[in-house]
Amino acid sequence: MTSAPVHAKGLEGVIADESAICNVEQTALIYRGYEIADLAAHASFEEVAFLLLIGHKPNASELKAFKDELIAERELPEMIKQNLKHAGELVNNKYAVPMDILRTAVSVLGHLDPDCQDNSAEANLRKAKRLLAKIPTVIGHMQNSIEGREFVAPRSDLSHSANLLYMMTGSEPSPEAEKVMDVSLVLYAEHDYNASTFTSRVIASTLGDMHGAVTGAVAALKGKLHGGANEAAMDMLSDIRNDIGPDNDAAKITGWMHKAFAEKRKLMGFGHRVYKNGDHRAPILHALGRKAAEARGEEFVKLFELGEAVQKIMADEKTIYPNVDFPCGMTYFTMGIPVPQYTPIFVASRITGWCAHIMEQHANNRIIRPRVAYIGPALRNWND
Ligand code: SDX
């Protein structure tokens, strides 16, 4: 009996293909050659979206044309708007969470996109821009419905990030809030073969269409071991706050953490399959979010101090470091964004990475079909 082949549970360490889009290493995170701290400091989300989807840094006229195309596509088809009028009923009665509503909306956007069944490079790029432009409107209208308010229509005079925040609240964000959102979208945009991107590539590899591949990716990102961790991280900090009271008493925080360790609880927003010395994105967002908290007031500074105390215990006692979702939870909470919209906002950014990967897969495809080591019953007869 030959020994079973060694399998990599969770495909850990497996190089599944080649890609020109992103490189995730301990030493650096790079989008098409540009390092993430460079992009976060100097590029807008629209510029990064163009870079990921089209492959190069846009010049001024390319960027203007790209922005104008996205603005022109922000409005939703009437059928989706009718569907989204029921979002509040579904979410407030706990039949669905916002990530489910968004997943369905992406699927219906496919029915209404004339290019849906066309996997050509030109059609895929058109679809990618429409999805990028429309997903913030889905999130905005969904939140309006959850709050029982009239839909806030997209505005053509606001940036992508400002328009997203405006449609959710009906108020124009401050320049500071717009900047924090924009950097968070840059940081979330792409991350090579993470679970949701790999899901989208598996679907694209069968020659499934872009809307189907994105629908699958949204379903994968919802999980709290993946994108859902930004909501779960904020929920965990709220649990700690509720358990230990309003002061960040060090002994109480340590006690809470030790109880979690004893229960073998996974601390949301910590750890990463690739990064074992820390996620390059986390300190960038943490610094921005803490600045926003200092401007917002004492309660929010104390939230960040609680987060910093948790981070220190995880580092000192487990050598496990925060991933991007940990600072994201505290930052979006400081901005007043409803917790269940954190992962949908992750989608509004990662749609760029997903579509870049779907286009790359369709352009140079081989169906993704790995093997499995069988450990079931030996051969036997049905009539024995
Ligand atoms: C994202 O892949 C990507 O790039 C994803 C992402 C992207 O941009 O697309 O970066 C976004 O999804 C970030 C990850 C968000 N998820 C979480 O924050 C959930 C909590 N994290 C863990 O579930 C875990 O760290 C994962 C899922 C992120 C990584 O899982 P791995 O690589 O399978 O690691 P593991 O679970 O095997 O952990 C190794 C050890 C284990 O100890 P043992 O059980 O072997 O004794 O470290 C421990 C784990 O228990 N550990 C944790 C922990 N993460 C790892 N212990 C407590 N809390 C944690 N968060």
**Domain CATH code at residue 88:** 1.10.580.10
308 and 191 housed in the same domain: no
Where does a domain end: 334, 352, 378? 334
In a domain, 373, yes or no: no
Q: Tell me the CA distances in angstroms from 219 to 42, 139, 227, 232, one per residue in order.
A: 32, 16, 10, 16
56 and 200 housed in the same domain: yes
Q: What are 22's two structure tokens?
A: 């992103």
Residue 59 lies in domain:
18-224+343-363
pTM above 0.85, yes or no: yes
Question: CB neighbours (10 Å) of residue 145?
Answer: 23
From first to last of its 384 residues, the chain has per-residue pLDDT tens of 556 568 999 999 999 999 999 999 999 999 999 999 999 999 999 999 999 999 999 999 999 999 999 999 999 999 999 999 999 999 999 999 999 999 999 999 999 999 999 999 999 999 999 999 999 999 999 999 999 999 999 999 999 999 999 999 999 999 999 999 999 999 999 999 999 999 999 999 999 999 999 999 999 999 999 999 999 999 999 999 999 999 999 999 999 999 999 999 999 999 999 999 999 999 999 999 999 999 999 999 999 999 999 999 999 999 999 999 999 999 999 999 999 999 999 999 999 999 999 999 999 999 999 999 999 999 999 999
In a domain, 374, yes or no: no
In a domain, 115, yes or no: yes
- Residue 272 CB less than 6 A away from ligand 1: yes
Ligand 1 centroid distance, CA of 199 (Å)? 18
Give me the pLDDT at residue 6, please.
83
Give me the pLDDT at residue 2, please.
57
201 and 293 housed in the same domain: no
Closest-CA residue, ligand 1 atom 46, reads 264
Residue 194 Cα: closest atom of ligand 1: 2
251 and 293 housed in the same domain: yes
98 and 61 housed in the same domain: yes
Distance CA 309, CA 234 (A): 15
157 and 22 housed in the same domain: yes
57 and 144 housed in the same domain: yes
- Residue 286 CB less than 6 A away from ligand 1: no
Give me the pLDDT at residue 4, please.
59
Ligand 1 centroid distance, CA of 323 (Å)? 9
Ligand 1 centroid distance, CA of 136 (Å)? 28
In a domain, 193, yes or no: yes
In a domain, 202, yes or no: yes
Give me the pLDDT at residue 3, please.
63
- Residue 270 CB less than 6 A away from ligand 1: yes
- Residue 190 CB less than 6 A away from ligand 1: no
269 and 184 housed in the same domain: no
In a domain, 278, yes or no: yes
Ligand 1 centroid distance, CA of 42 (Å)? 30
User: Which domain CATH number covers 263?
Assistant: 1.10.230.10
- Residue 353 CB less than 6 A away from ligand 1: no
- Residue 226 CB less than 6 A away from ligand 1: yes
- Tally of domains in the chain: 2
Mutate-to-test residue for ligand 1 from 273, 276, 313, 357, highest number of ligand atoms within 8 A of CB? 273
260 and 155 housed in the same domain: no
In a domain, 8, yes or no: no
In a domain, 3, yes or no: no
144 and 262 housed in the same domain: no
Ligand 1 centroid distance, CA of 273 (Å)? 6
Ligand 1 centroid distance, CA of 119 (Å)? 34
Residues identified as active-site: 226, 272, 325
137 and 215 housed in the same domain: yes
168 and 242 housed in the same domain: no
Mutate-to-test residue for ligand 1 from 319, 323, 325, highest number of ligand atoms within 8 A of CB? 323
